[in-house]
Structure 1
Amino acid sequence: MTGRDIYFVSNNINEMGGVTTWSHQMARLFAERGHRPRVTGIVPAPEELRTDLGDLPYPTDTLYSVHPPHVGPVRGVKGRLNLAERRRRAVREAGMREAAERLSGIFRNARPGGIVICTQVWAMEWVALADTAGMPVIGMTHESFGACRSSSRFQRVKRHYEGVDRLLALTREDADLWIRAGMDNADFMPNPLPVMPDVPSERTEKVVASIGRLSDEKGVDLLLDTWALLTHRHPDWLLRIYGSGEDEEILLKQRDALGLERSVEFMGRTGDVPGALRGASVFAQASRAEGFPLSLMEAMAAAVPCAAFDCAPGVHEIVQDGEDGLLAAPGNINELAAHIEALMTDKELRDRLGSTARENVQRYCTDRITQRWEELFGFLER
């Protein structure tokens, strides 16, 4: 087969975050290998969270011009008699059918060997209504089983992904947990390494870097509390936080309340992650929840040793504690501070871990991961 039509369907096509980064990275990789990717979003991303995608070598679509009306679950007789809610529900259902028909029209252009990859379970509600006849459907969950289990998404994953050809988690550990939860179609596929910079960090700058969205799950508030335990002993070191998000204002207030104005710099979003990492000697991550964190992989590729909370299987799948990074119990800021301090003060340790990290992370190189995807496509086609 010379190339496949590969249809990515997500909640939207350009909201900043890991799913968007992954979708467009994989679409580019498939295009480079002669496939014909197309990325479709259900709704527009919120304006304040949109990212500029630049020129793309493949088509993109968004099914709705505005977000469809929200409807809640029907509760009791009173809910069934609520005329306003019934109208909203009818409008939403009619809109879903129309949007699903547009999606069907996109899928009908597929040549033999076409594949549908639904990256988020909410988007699967439209994929399930669309005509996917003759094409395998892969459903994905880009978070750990534990994070999903504690959210409203868990029951939706079980309901909407039950009949897909594969439910892909990010790690074998998560896939096993999904199988135990009754999803016999579960398997796993790690994320590919976003970039392998030619020039790694020299690890000589007195800078600890963190990269990620400024939101609760990324734990930047915990990182600030961690840094407050260190800065008085290391006043010549800086913590640079790259990223933007809904919690930026409250995090700035927290920084100032902790007296960290001189030692913590909020750098905003960066379009040059390798450059940011070349200027750092240590990478810190204090996330409450993760899937398969790209930022850890990016830091390791830059030979910057990581200290992170072991908050998900994806974290300890990427970072081997004591071999190519240091892991702390989730939420334990004292342990995380000790790990960061060890890397700050022991150049031999950070050089050893950083060099090993750059070597080890290449097991996720793009060629290997893309090959695994193509092997999965071939298997599902049989």
Structure 2
Amino acid sequence: MTEYPQRDIFFVSNSVDELGGVTSWSHQMAHLFTERGHRVHVVGITEPAVVQVLGELPYPTTTLYDVHPPRVGPARGIKGRLNVAERRVRAARAAGMREQAAKLTALFRAARPGAVVIVTQVWAMEWVELADTTGLTVIGMSHESFASCKKTSRFRRVQKHYRDVDRMLALTREDADLWIRQGMNNASFMPNPIPFLPEVPSPRTENVVLSVGRLHDQKGIDILLDTWAEVVPRHPDWRLRIYGSGEDEEILKKQCTALGLDDCVEWMGSTRDVPGALRGGSVFVLCSRGEGFPLVLMEAMATGLPAAAFDCAPGVHEIIHDGEDGLLATLGNTGELARRLDTLMSDKELRDAMGEAARVNIQRYTEDEIVRRWEELFAFLER
């Protein structure tokens, strides 16, 4: 194995401990780089609204703001540009950004030659580009699919704030190609690593379909409930077990009751033991309206679960080999997804074969392989 130089690596995100996949990914990579001898520092712009419990960390973390910076929208028209109160808020925000960017500059200047700044979310890049990054490699990331990003204000911000970084990373080659067509000639891709590969996979003996994720519109739990209403009459001895919490919990439980599913849907809340939760199921289902490179899908496959999933992003159909280690359905088509679930629930031999294939195939994203690819990228960009 090629030996790469040890570096100072900064992860800069919206928050150090925000609940969500980007935070989990950041700390997973921070641990991996630390284990390889790199010196890691994780930086957040603000405190999050919902905190993820991280425990003791083997690297330092810094949060720039004690309170959230003032929120301002775009100044629209002459009236908006002349609004005195709004101009004061904008001026205060700009001054605060420069002050916080100076903290980043101080951190960056203390780094050894060859240091790398990985900006995991484009909002955080607005502070990084105000800091002095002379002599550092700067990498900007988009942890969502091109299609999902294009529907949001982040699309223009990626084009604006990542245009001049050393490399803009999408999660798949397909998405990187789409960014290149938008004029982002610095675009490439880097997949996520498997968060874990349990020694003991699921025995797939329980009549349980699992969903793990935030109870939020993006995750499509409302669509999942509609899908389950189509599936369960054929499988009255099966249960849908939903792990997660979020702002949509109350309305989703009301939908569950209205569909008559209370006896066959189990609401488990959040869990810190995802591997244990996954070992309690036989099939995994992903109903998201949009994804990047979904960690929970990788976790399920590493646990030996075949998945039925909406083909909602390039990351999903890159992870799942349709018909080999899982089954894909057209985004939003509950009837098609119900048929995919029915296929897996009806045939134990098939789901065992697909589950074993999933566990083998997902190992192309092992932590060692992805860290090696990152270190290769650092060396290439340093030339």
Q: TM-score, normalised by structure 2?
A: 0.98
**Could you tell me which residue of structure 2 aligns to residue 345 of structure 1?**
346
> SS at 1:232's partner residue?
helix
**Could you tell me which residue of structure 2 aligns to residue 317 of structure 1?**
318
Letter in 2 for 1:324: D
Greater alpha carbon shift after TM alignment, 250-259 vs 361-370:
250-259
Letter in 1 for 2:115: G
**Could you tell me which residue of structure 2 aligns to residue 145 of structure 1?**
146
The answer to whether structure 1 residue 188 and structure 2 residue 205 are counterparts is no
Q: CA deviation at 1:3?
A: 1.4
For the residues of structure 1 that align with 2:200 and 2:360, how far apart are their CA atoms?
Answer: 13
**Could you tell me which residue of structure 1 aligns to residue 10 of structure 2?**
7
The 5 Å alignment of 1:1-382 reads: 2-46=5-49, 49-382=50-383
Hey, which bits of structure 1, 4+ residues long, moved more than 6 A?
none
Letter in 2 for 1:32: E
Q: CA deviation at 1:141?
A: 0.1
> SS at 1:129's partner residue?
coil
> SS at 2:231's partner residue?
coil
Q: CA deviation at 1:2?
A: 4.6
Structure 2 unaligned runs (5+)? none
Deviation string 1:265-321 (CA, Å, 9 cap, x unpaired) is 111111111111111000001000000000110010001000000000000000010
> SS at 1:230's partner residue?
helix
For the residues of structure 2 that align with 1:80 and 1:156, how far apart are their CA atoms?
Answer: 21
Deviation string 1:115-150 (CA, Å, 9 cap, x unpaired) is 000000000000000011100100000000011112
For the residues of structure 2 that align with 1:279 and 1:181, how far apart are their CA atoms?
Answer: 44
Q: CA deviation at 1:45?
A: 0.3
For the residues of structure 1 that align with 2:352 and 2:376, how far apart are their CA atoms?
Answer: 37
For this pair of structures, how many residues does the alignment match?
380
Deviation string 1:13-49 (CA, Å, 9 cap, x unpaired) is 1111110010000000000000011110001000xx2
> SS at 2:9's partner residue?
strand
Letter in 2 for 1:68: P
Greater alpha carbon shift after TM alignment, 182-191 vs 265-274:
265-274
> SS at 1:55's partner residue?
coil
For the residues of structure 2 that align with 1:25 and 1:344, how far apart are their CA atoms?
Answer: 33
Letter in 2 for 1:62: T
For the residues of structure 2 that align with 1:14 and 1:222, how far apart are their CA atoms?
Answer: 29
Deviation string 1:210-250 (CA, Å, 9 cap, x unpaired) is 11111111101100110011222212111111111111111
For the residues of structure 2 that align with 1:355 and 1:143, how far apart are their CA atoms?
Answer: 28
Letter in 2 for 1:263: C
For the residues of structure 2 that align with 1:58 and 1:100, how far apart are their CA atoms?
Answer: 21
Deviation string 1:80-107 (CA, Å, 9 cap, x unpaired) is 2211101110110010000100111111
Letter in 1 for 2:35: E
RMSD across aligned C-alpha pairs, in angstroms? 0.8
Letter in 2 for 1:171: T
For the residues of structure 1 that align with 2:73 and 2:348, how far apart are their CA atoms?
Answer: 55
Deviation string 1:57-114 (CA, Å, 9 cap, x unpaired) is 1001110011111111111211122111011101100100001001111111100110
For the residues of structure 2 that align with 1:333 and 1:139, how far apart are their CA atoms?
Answer: 36
For the residues of structure 2 that align with 1:70 and 1:253, how far apart are their CA atoms?
Answer: 34
Letter in 1 for 2:16: I
Q: CA deviation at 1:327?
A: 0.2
> SS at 1:28's partner residue?
helix
Letter in 2 for 1:90: A
> SS at 2:62's partner residue?
strand
Structure 1 unaligned runs (5+)? none
For the residues of structure 2 that align with 1:344 and 1:134, how far apart are their CA atoms?
Answer: 56
For the residues of structure 2 that align with 1:82 and 1:257, how far apart are their CA atoms?
Answer: 49
For the residues of structure 1 that align with 2:107 and 2:249, how far apart are their CA atoms?
Answer: 39
Q: TM-score, normalised by structure 1?
A: 0.98
